[in-house]
Structure formats: C-alpha cells, structure tokens
Amino acid sequence: MPKDLPLLEQALNLKFKDSTLLQKALTHRSYLNENIGLNLEHNERLEFLGDAVLEFVITEYLYTHYLRPEGELTNWRASLVNSDMLAKVATHLNLGDYLYLSKGENKDESRGRQYILANATEALIGAIYLDLGINEAKKFIGNYILTRLPYILENQLYIDPKSHFQEVTQEKTGITPHYEVMDESGPDHAKTFKVGVYLNSDLIGVGTGYSKQEAEFNAAKLALEKWQ
C-alpha cells in the first residue's frame, strides 16, 4: 500500500482542503482496474488540467523574466515540461511511494514507470490548482521545476535534437529528414510508439516513446549521435 498522504502533504508543506483530490492525483488507472468497485477516480483528468496549468505558469515566467525570441523560449519551456524532467521531479519528491498502482505496475521499473511518475506530477499540479489556487500551484512549480532552469541553460539541454538534426543534414546533404511510425503497441492509455527518422529512404535512427513526439525526439537524438 502507498504511504499515508499526510506525510506527502507535510513534505510538500501543503494542506489540502479536499484530501480526495490528492488521492485522485496519485491514483493510476491500473489500480482501479485491479480493484473494481472502489469509489475512486483515476488521475487522467487531473493530469490534463495540470499539464495546462504547468505550461501556462512556465510560459508566463519565461515571458516575464527573459527577453528572448519566441522559438528559444519555446525550447526552454519544452525542456522543463517534458516527461523526463517531470519524472525526475516526481522521483525527487518520492511520489512513487504514494502512488496507487496495480501490483504489476508497482513492480515495473521500465520506461513505463517514468511515464506514470511524470503524469502523476502533472496531476498533482492540477490538484493543487483546484484545491489551493493558482498561487500555490505557482509556488510548487517554482520550487520544484523552475529551479531546474539554470542547469538546463548552462548545459544547453534545451536544444531540440529534431531541429539540430535537420540543420546538420541539410548542411551536409541538402536533404530534410522525415519521420515515420514503425510500430504502436500497448493499451490506449499507455501506448508505446516506435518511430524511424529517414533521409530519403535510408533509415538513420529509431526511437521509442509514449507519444509520437517523444519517439521522434529520441530517434533524432540517436541519429545525431551517429553523425557526430
């Protein structure tokens, strides 16, 4: 069983008025599939809301604090809200200890677990926004996500591998890379995509991810490593 949620509230220095929102934010669909009849909701709607709140808060912060071109700010924002970054935030907060998961998902240490953690971070942001308001959501995002921006900028982690790979290939070959989905697997709520990046008909790199965008990102990253 997950740890008691008041321990998480204490760790986050938060006190929910409606504790069921916090529980919902940490309830994965698989737990309800395994425990039919429980009066609980899974966290996917809160995740949807939290994703929007997170993007708005990050966008507002970058617009207010940095006088940079739109494309550059877009890349910075993407580096802060991608699933890898949000999974790291969840790990830092030990959210995995509080998740309501099926027995199978609870034992899974694969890439899928990272995706679940990232979604739980977004759902938690949605719950904070609904229960405690936008200022508390901004405080959470500021404390645990925006604090990672200096490291991202210093190490240039915001550079988009798809854009970089396209620049390299156009400069060296005059060819624009294109991406094709090679395979889809898994249930609708947790699909895995396998995507190839091609120069004309030549396959240069293959990436996987829990969205087409993430798979394309990973394919371009691997392709760049081959070309460097």
- Decide: 181 and 209 in contact? Cβ < 8 Å: no
Catalytic residue among 122, 131, 214, 216: 122
Backbone torsions φ then ψ of 109, nearest 5 degrees: -110, 15
Helix (H, G, I), strand (E, B) or coil at 178: strand
Catalytic residue among 47, 51, 105, 214: 51
Helix (H, G, I), strand (E, B) or coil at 89: helix
Question: Is 51 among the catalytic positions?
Answer: yes
- Degrees to nearest 5, angle at CA 148 with 221 and 88: 65
Provide the pairing of β-strand 178-185 with 192-199: antiparallel
Helix (H, G, I), strand (E, B) or coil at 115: helix
Question: Is 202 among the catalytic positions?
Answer: no
- CA proximity to 57, closest of 130, 123, 146, 128: 146
Instruction: Give the catalytic positions in this structure.
Output: 51, 122
